[in-house]
Every structure is written in structure tokens, then in C-alpha cells.
Structure 1
């Protein structure tokens, strides 16, 4: 999703793998690894920057697994790159990766803050938009005065930064936020479901000129204003930012960390687990707390830091538990465009991320036998989502996301569906076609096994739910857990048939990343 947002804004970027980061690709060193018999491509070296990335964008996922995927060499490489002036932008798990941890190998330690636990596990299951209070006057403060205006742009970079590349990393290219995590999460642009070191984005040149008309950023002289000590409400309308099952900062007094935005109040589409809070009267929350001792209001969020910034060496970081790359989220997208401009020196061609219509995906693969297995897998995955909706296990949440009942593998299903949609939306490169010819028989077999197994699993979950009031032990819970493990892996560490399908699908995305997704054309 983050990769798509950067591409939609017309900025040069590429996916780079975690192994490449460990080998120094952020500092401009060519990778030594091989992928599927093909040399991994890297961003072209820039005559001014020596090919160094200006920005590493790390999306959501399990921060601990991302750190493990980087390894000691990768974590050191990121810190060395930042000390030399590289900039870091992390969303959700990418923010958590940058924090300090009791076990140093579990994060980068570029921010002195750590991650805090929620008072109740259920409080982690928040999603939707929230109104925020903003810090004004900081270098990275959100400037709502800047509005996207339609104009023809040449996408030229700033005069002093033509060489600045924009970096991100791979599995996030296709995944929804809050996805299942896996054993060796890729360090950079990779969602939580990563299991092998995946790619990060890096690019060294400005977009080609002559692109079609698109909304452009217009600077406002009124922003930034004098810096404040604390975030404040921005009257008359506080910005609305999206969160998708976020982590939480352990705030402490430290002048090195600046809070750019803090939670204020839930917006209209805010959910806690599978409960839309706007549909529940406030007095009901009070009754629930009095009768059952459960606090399901969002009061615990008010004033909590949501977006922070600071410096590490000569580099700068912005860490956000809000997914600013969320499609069709105007305030979030505008702030993302501003941050990308500030952190890379490149001018986005637009300040919004268009709708991601995963309910009606396009595909760019050529018709015929070569694409049959991939498109069949996509259709089967959509069929599973429809089945889960029909049996009230899942529900439509947004144009790109299905919601799910607590305890079901909804994040994993969203991740695989989004990955398949993304792979199918990219015209395959020769390297991707060669790789596909090699793995297609195995992929087809895995996809058939997964589709049949997942269908049985969802129907068994529905049966267990139906029988539970009268026959609570009719469906063996241990059997269901075993089936889920085989299909979807562990909720926090991944695995199962789904992980194997994701590995292949994301390699296709990596090998075809130079193509423009057909939904952005």
C-alpha cells in the first residue's frame, strides 16, 4: 500500500530487499545477492549522490520480525546510513522498528523512546480515522493550508536535490496494514506478513517530465508558524488521520523527540475490534464498564502521541502510528506528500492517493495459459472473502479492506488478496515471466490446497459459532487451531500455505516493480 502511494504521487522509488540493505545498498553499494537466477536490479547510481538513498520508508508489520530480518549487519547499515544523512519514515510497525528496545537486536534504536503496551489487549484492536491535535511550527508539522490544486506538472525535483532518491521496502507493496507477521520480516518496505528478507524502495532520479495533469502541492506562507511545546487543536476542523491496529509510543520527557500529532477523538468510521463505536450510545459504554468491567470507549487514546520526529546523526526520522499512505484519506495523504517532499527534496505530482478498488481489481498479465494460475488464485481468494462475508465472519470495511470477527485470520486474508491484486496489476517483466515459468506448477498446487482448506476452515468456524450455545464442544477447537496453523500460520509469526503463496507472489511484484499498476494508469 505504501509503495502504491509513492508511485501514485509520481516519485521515483524502488523496492530493495532486506539482504541488499545489509550489503549497503542504501549507501550506494551494488547488491551481491541473486534472486531466482536473476541479478537483482538496483536503483541507477546518481552522479551527485553516488546512488545513496535519501529516504527509507518502512511500512507496517511486526517490528521485532523486521529487525530479525535485517540482522546485525542490516541494522548497522541503516544506522550508518542515517548518521551520514539518510532520512527514515516509518508507519506503524516501521515506527516500532525505529524505537529503542530492552533487547537491542529487536529494533534500530534511532529514537530514544520505546513501545508501550496497551492497558487491555482489546485496545490494540482499533481501526479507522481519529481526529488529532497538531504541533505547529515544526519542520515536519502538517500544514492543512496546503491544498491540492489541479495543474500540469513536470515533476521536476528541487534544484538542490535532483539526486535525492526515495527509498522504501518490499512486502508492503501489496499488503494492508496490520497484517500477519512472520519469522523473518523484511526490514524496510515490508508488511508484517514478511517471512524472508524482502525489498525496500530506493530511487535516484526525478520522474519523467510531460506527465498528465495531476493535483500538485501549493506552499502556504502561513505554515509553519512559531513552534509550540505541545500539540494543539487546529480549529475549526481538526485533521482526521487513519489508524489500523496501531502500536503505542511510551512517551517520556526527552527534548530529542517532538510530538507532531496526538490523538484527540474518534472520527465517524472508528472501530474497536468489530464494533463501530459511532453506533453505540455513550451510556452503553458506561453500563458495560459497570456491569462487566470492560472499557470499550476510546477515552484511553486522548492525548497519546501518534506521530513523532527527531534526528539521528545527520539524518532525520518521522515515526507515525497513523498510516498516512491509506488510499483516499485526504488529510493523511496531504501530510504524506509534504513529508516526502521535505525528506527527499522531490516534488510529488499530486497530494492524494487514489481509491484502491480491490473489490474490482484490474490485471495487466497477458491472457492465456501463462497467467491462468495467478488469476485463478486471485479469483479463489476473492471467493473465500465473499464466503466469509456471506457467513458473517467477515464484512466489507473499505474499498480495499475487509473487516473480520475477532480471532479470525482476517489480516492474513487481506494481505494475500492485496498481494495477488498487486502482482496481477503489473505487466510482468521478462525476469518475472522466467521466474513464473519455474514456480507456476508449485504455486498452482499450493493455491488449490489453500483454497480448499480455507473454505473448509471458514465453514467449520461458522458451524462452531452456531453450535456453541447448545453444543460448545461439538467442533474440536484444537482441530480448528491446527487447521488454521497449517493454512495461515501463527498470527504473530506467519507460516503455513499462505506464507508460501505470499513469497512467490511478492517475488513477482519485486521483479515487475518498474511497471505501473494498471489501476494507476
Structure 2
């Protein structure tokens, strides 16, 4: 007897790379997510659609909250309170946390983030985790995290679904592969970097939680279960979504098989690859996986990863005539901005290399001039802006149009 699979919605705004990662993951599991914009949510789309699960990808939680606005945040709270399920990854998990006068988050639970001094503030890679998911066949899993925060767990009503145990083989703290650093040397590195680097700040902490909210619930995960080619994480994601287990294939954003020809997108993709190769030559960038750059501390390579992923996706999916016409009105400006970004970032990277050579004991930033260059190109941290932000806005709109209309779910 045929069964009806649950419906899924994906909140797109302020997700960028992480939105694409979530979209790919859901498609690989056989679920075609309904893309929702923040304006749709504010206008009542969740009341009409009533998805079984609303997936909120990573990204900056504050920017997501701002994009939703008062109406969108209240609509989203109402959806969960009346029986909906919220699944937030990383920044999407942060969006659901306790709201105060200073932070207009969703307040789906009373949890807050740990302060940076009480957590491991800059880590990435896989972690061995203990699972507490009755319907899942395994009691442990190797789960990936990509620069997560950490929960300050104070509410006994919240069910812990996974806890961190110990670092996996590809785990980094800041820009240091942890497996290469002797444990008795970490204190010296911490003195240089000025932040916690020892994995003890992570071990035993909750990684995935389920919080009740009215008739619904929020699943909050600092683990990116949608990470490509992470089979144990992918299997856990399928369990949490009530879907048959399936692998999420590796994603190579460097090599593409174009579904349509566009000289501007192809030129931007090639220019970014050329820029990244320059960064590799100067020991500032490296490929950790085919979809993710690694970088020397302070280098804004996550932004380059994001742009390359967006361009790769835009070229790899078929495009309707109306979206082509819209893109033709935007592509000259976007190409011009991208060329400018790549030219100026190439100069910035060489100056960054010189600064790091002159000051090898100070891997972060490198003075006011470099900070000014970086902010003009990519905007202030945390967040984004500058020339990069202008490109991002155009590509984000292009991808939203493509994903809303595509029937081509190849991942």
C-alpha cells in the first residue's frame, strides 16, 4: 500500500552556501523541498502549506531573524506551536533560541548560546558523538560540524539527541588540523591565538536537541547532518525526517557540467578558481573537500567558497526563459563586480601573505590597512557586505528563482 511522504519546506533567506547544502541533502533523500522566502512566511505561507517539517539551514541567525521581521517570526512561532516541526542546522538552530530585548530570535526554547570564553569558538570537521535517538539503529555516529556555537543547556524539558564525545580524524581548531598538534602543545597555541583550542570545551556537550513548543517541536542541530558524503550523519538526518536512508553524494563545486550556457556565470566561476589557485600558491588556501575551502586564520575564504558554490549550482540546473531574461538584466553588473572583487582580492591575498611572513607569530588579521581592505571587499565580521555582499544579493535572487521552478533535482 503506497505511503505519502511528509512535505518539507526550506527557509531560503540568509542561507547561501548552507541553503544549497540543505537543498541538496533533502533532494538526495528523495524529498523535494518547497522553497520559502522570508516574505512568504510573513505573508502566511506556513499556514497555507503546513509542511510536516520546516528546515532552516545554517547562516547568521541574526540576519535570518531580521529578514523574517516581526510578522515572519510570529508566523513561524505559530506554525511550530500548532503542531509543526522545525529543524534548524547551526545558524538555523541559533535562530530558534531564547529571544531577549537585544536579540529578536524565535524563542522556541529557553536555551541560549554559551559565551565564547566557555566554548570551543572556532572548530570544524567530524566529531564522534553519542546518540540518544530511539528510532535510529545506531547509538554512536561520526557527525560533521562547521564552525558551530554551543548550547547552554539549562532546561530539563529539552531532550538531548546527541552529545559530543571526541574529535574525528579531520577535525580542525581554528586553522590547525588537531591531529597534527600534540595535546601538550595546545596551550602554547592558545596563548598565540587568544581563544580556546582544546577539544575538552566540546566533549560531553549537547550537539542535537529536541525542544517541545506548544503542540510542535524544534530539532536544533549544531551538526550539519546534510553534509555531502558523511554517511552516518546522512542516515541520522533520514531518521529524524522519517525518510528512507540514502547517501548524500559528494559535491564538487570546482568542476561543473553546465545545464545551460551563460558566459557571465562561466567567466565568474573561472575567475574565482583562478583567485583560489593564487591563494593556494601563497599557502593561504587549501581544499579540505571538493565543496569546502580551508584557510589561514583571518583570510575570508568562506566567502569564496560560497560564491563558487552558488555559481556552480546556477550553471548546473536548467533555467526557465523568464529567469534567463531576468538574469540578462543583472549579469553585466554582477560580472563587473565579480571581476573587481577577484582583482582586488588577489592584491589583498598577496599583502596578507607578506604580513604573515613579517609577523609569523600573529596569524590573525595583520593591521588596520589589511582590515580596511578586507572590509571593503567582504564587509565587517560577523556577517558580510562590501563588493561581495552586492554579488551575493544578485546570485541569491537568481538561485531562488532557479530552485523555485526547477524540476531537475540532480545533486
CA distance in 2, matches of 1:479, 1:337: 47
User: In structure 2, what is the Cα distance between the partners aligned to 1:77 and 1:66?
Assistant: 14
| Residues 28 and 246, structure 2, Cα contact 8 Å, conserved in 1 | no
Q: Of 58, 69, 72, which aligns to 2:67?
A: 69
1:12 maps to which residue? 32
1:115 to 113, 116, 119: 113
| Correspondent of 1:127 among 104, 124, 137 | 124
**Which whole-Å CA distance do the structure 2 matches of 1:97 and 1:247 have between them?**
12
Counterparts of 2:87 and 2:275 in 1: how far apart (Å)? 34
- Note the C-alpha offset of 1:467: 3.2
Closer/same/farther in 2, CA of residues 288 and 4 from structure 1, 3 Å limit: closer
1:206 is matched with which residue? none
From 199, 205, 208, the counterpart of 1:307: 208
Gaps of at least 5 residues in structure 1 are 29-50, 145-233, 342-346
SS at match of 1:397: strand
Deviation at 1:508, TM superposition (A): 1.5
Shift of the 293–446 alpha-carbon distance from structure 1 to 2, 3 Å rule, reads closer
- 1:358 aligns with 253
For 1:486 and 1:310, the matched residues in 2 are separated by: 40
2:391 aligned with 1:489: no
User: Does the 8 Å contact 2:95/2:106 carry over to 1?
Assistant: yes
CA contact (8 A) 1:143 1:335 kept: no
Q: 2:117–2:196: 8 Å Cα contact kept in structure 1?
A: no
1:297-336 per-position Cα deviation (integer Å, ceiling 9, x unaligned): 2112111011000221221221000000000001110011
Q: Which of structures 1 and 2 has the bigger CA Rg?
A: 1
Answer whether contact 1:423 1:506 (CA < 8 A) is retained. Answer: no
Equivalent pair of 1:7/1:13 in contact (CA under 8 Å): yes
* Separation of aligned partners in 2, 1:291 and 1:357: 34
Corresponding residue of 2:299: 408
The match for 2:239 is 338
Which one of 316, 322, 335 corresponds to residue 431 of structure 1?
A: 322
> Does the CA contact (< 8 Å) of 1:63 and 1:106 recur in 2?
no
Q: How does 1:427-506 map to 2 (within 5 A)?
A: 427-468=318-359, 477-506=367-396
SS at match of 2:145: strand
Partner of 2:47: 27
Task: Give 1:438 deviation, angstroms.
Answer: 1.1
Between Structure 1 and Structure 2, the one with more helix by share is 2
- Give the conservation status (yes or no) of the 8 Å contact 2:118–2:201: no
Distance 1:142 1:83, change over 3 A: same
Change (3 A) 1:120 1:275: farther
Distance in 1 separating the partners of 2:77 and 2:389: 29
Distance 1:283 1:313 in 2: 48
Aligned-pair CA distance for 1:400: 0.9
Q: Tell me how far apart the structure 1 counterparts of residues 366 and 154 of structure 2 sit (CA, whole Å).
A: 47
Equivalent residues of 1:381, 1:451 under 8 A apart: yes
SS in 2 for 1:124: coil
**Pairwise CA distance, 1:515:** 2.6
Residues 63 and 502 (structure 1), Cα distance of their counterparts in 2 relative to 1, 3 Å cut: same
Once the two structures are TM-superposed, the CA of residue 120 in structure 1 deviates from its matched residue by 6.0
Aligned residues of 1:426 and 1:516 also touching (Cα < 8 A): no
One of 266, 270, 286 as aligned partner of 1:375? 266
TM-score when normalising by structure 2: 0.88
Q: Tell me the CA shift for residue 483 of structure 1.
A: 1.6
Q: Is residue 254–residue 308 contact of structure 2 (8 Å, CA) maintained in 1?
A: no
| Alpha-carbon spacing, 1:56–1:289, altered in 2? closer, same or farther (3 Å) | closer
Structure possessing the higher relative contact order (Cα contacts under 8 Å, 6 or more residues apart): 1
CA contact (8 A) 1:450 1:497 kept: yes
Contact 1:363 1:518 in 2 (8 A): no
Whole-angstrom CA distance in 1 between matches of 2:199 and 2:63 = 29
Pick from 290, 312, 316: which aligns with 1:421?
312
Tell me how far 1:516 sits from its aligned partner: 5.6
Q: What SS does the aligned partner of 1:73 have?
A: helix
> What do the CA deviations read for 1:169-206 (whole angstroms, capped 9, x no partner)?
xxxxxxxxxxxxxxxxxxxxxxxxxxxxxxxxxxxxxx
- Please report the TM-score for the alignment, with normalisation by the length of structure 1: 0.70
Q: Which moved more, 1:86-95 or 1:426-435?
A: 426-435
Q: Which structure 2 residue ranges, 5 or more long, are not aligned?
A: 1-20
2:111·2:155 contact (CA, 8 Å) conserved in 1?
no
Asked if 2 retains the 8 angstrom alpha-carbon contact of 1:385 and 1:394, the reply is yes
Alignment deviations for residues 133-160 of structure 1 (CA, whole Å, 9 cap, x no partner): 22253xxx5432xxxxxxxxxxxxxxxx
CA distance in 2, matches of 1:506, 1:261: 32
Cα drift, residue 100 of structure 1: 0.5
Q: Is the 8 A contact 2:209 2:219 kept in 1?
A: yes
Question: Would you say 1:296 and 2:197 are equivalent positions?
Answer: yes
Cα distance in 1 for partners of 2:333, 2:270 equals 18
For 2:136 and 2:319, locate their aligned partners in 1 and report how far apart those are by CA, in whole Å: 38
Shift of 1:484: 1.2
Give the conservation status (yes or no) of the 8 Å contact 1:285–1:295: no
- CA deviations on 1:53-78 (whole Å, 9 max, x unpaired) are 22211111111221111111010000
In the alignment, the residues of structure 2 paired with residue 402 and residue 97 of structure 1 have an alpha-carbon distance, to the nearest angstrom, of: 25
Whether the 8 Å CA contact 2:348–2:374 is kept in 1: the answer is yes
